[in-house]
Amino acid sequence: MPSRRSLLTALGASFGTGAAVGYIAGIRPFTEESNSRPEPLAAAPTEWPFCNYDRAHSRHPPPESVPTGELEARWRYPLGEDEYAAPPVVSNGQVLLPVTEYDLRDTEFLSLRALDLASGTREWEWRSPTKGGNYDVPVAAIGDSVFLGAAMTSDYGAVSLAAATGNERWRSSLESFPGPGILTTAGYLLTRQAGDESAVKALDARTGDPGWRWPTTSARNAAFDGQRLVVGTENQLVGLEPQTGTESWRGDEPDNLRWGPALADDRVFVGTTSGRLAAYDATTGDRLWRRDLAAPVTTDGTEYARWINTGAVTQDSVVAVERRYDSASDVLHVRNSADGSLRFTKTPIVDGDARFASPVVVDGLIFIGEWNDTGSGGVTVFDLGSGERTATLRVGGVTSLIVTAGELLALTDGALISLR
């Protein structure tokens, strides 16, 4: 069984990325008895129903989401010694927290825990034994439905649950883990499948029945802004028709895509493993600009790459995180979205091998978690325009942070903490 610290070290970037663990384009809420077809429906603006806030991966909620006054801990949901949580989502007053846990025989289980947003009280738990490796679980929640992907005991699959009870509605088997992200649009749940049948697969979000399928050898993730569906592969961006999966454009990117796509203001943003950040036209796939944020570093004969997490995107700004394979700390890059020009950079204030979680931009402020290999860290707030550090709150190392309904939810080494 891996140690909590080793997992956090290995997965800290994905805990705060954006790695996009789960997305869903709105689905009309339905009851267990309903036979109606799913239809698009937007979530409430102040909810956080997807890993990166919305289907576009923007991490940019509206101003009414920001907390007011001095932040204080409202509740704390502790994790057990052998429990590892992935980033939560929030919908309908519930926090959905995916947790990997181990029993006394080191058997791995995946649980999804529904917590009351106001009190942190557990309302229900869905739990299943797995075949291992469920440390970055895709989850999305909207209406009265919750979706997740996992490596089950006998196969891989996507699962739909009733948000009120956690009762399982359907389960669809896949040939591989359903990717770093799941997305739904036009009533479909989209999953990534690797292996011999590598593809982006569309499942009916109401029933789990197969829909359309787009073959690809290396799907990374997808983003949807209500009209355009963009899929990122290892070295390409592809525009798809959301209802049919038909290709509308292809845009080549010579680098290995690491994060993205993220959509904002008719632009698609991606980060690469070679330290680059790039923007593309969301309608045509034409590249608008590309910036070298960091070059590889060679230490003792070993070359260490710098890779870019697209972070948060707005109409005017891209707030990206430069991550490193060596022991150097992360760097926050704030750039203008129109041309990629630099506004400012920041580094964590915690000591040692320091990391940033994925940032959130709301009401002209950047909220970001910090953590290091000793568990130190907290939440830092920067002014988006000037880069001034306006607040710091020490709650322990924060590997994931969301801003929803006037409060912060900070995921630390040992707990999920509500700050309001």
- Map out the domains of the chain with their CATH numbers: 4-419 (2.140.10.10)
The torsion of the CA quartet 226, 229, 230, 232, rounded to 10 degrees, works out to 110
Query: Phi, psi (5° rounding) for residue 80?
Result: -70, 165
Q: pLDDT by residue (tens digit) across 315-334?
A: 999 999 998 877 789 999 99
For residue 26, pLDDT over 70 is answered with no
DSSP letter, residue 12: H
Could you report the per-residue pLDDT of 248-278, keeping only the tens digit for each?
Answer: 999 876 567 777 799 999 999 999 888 999 9
pLDDT at 3: 37
At 24 the three-state DSSP class reads coil
Separation of alpha carbons 155 and 162, rounded Å: 22
Distances (CA, A) of 277 to 23, 30, 124, 317: 22, 40, 41, 13
- 2 or 126: which leads in pLDDT: 126
Range 26-56 burial, b when 16+ CB lie within 10 A, else e: bbbebeeeeeeebeeeebeebbbbbbbbbbb
The Cα–Cα gap between 140 and 50 comes to 5
Element (H, E) at 146: strand 145-151
**Is this structure's pTM higher than 0.85?**
yes
pLDDT of residue 33: 33
Q: What is the mean pLDDT of the chain?
A: 82
Exposed / middle / buried, residue 70 (Cβ in 10 Å: 0-12, 13-18, 19+): exposed
**What is the pLDDT, as a whole number, of residue 186?**
61
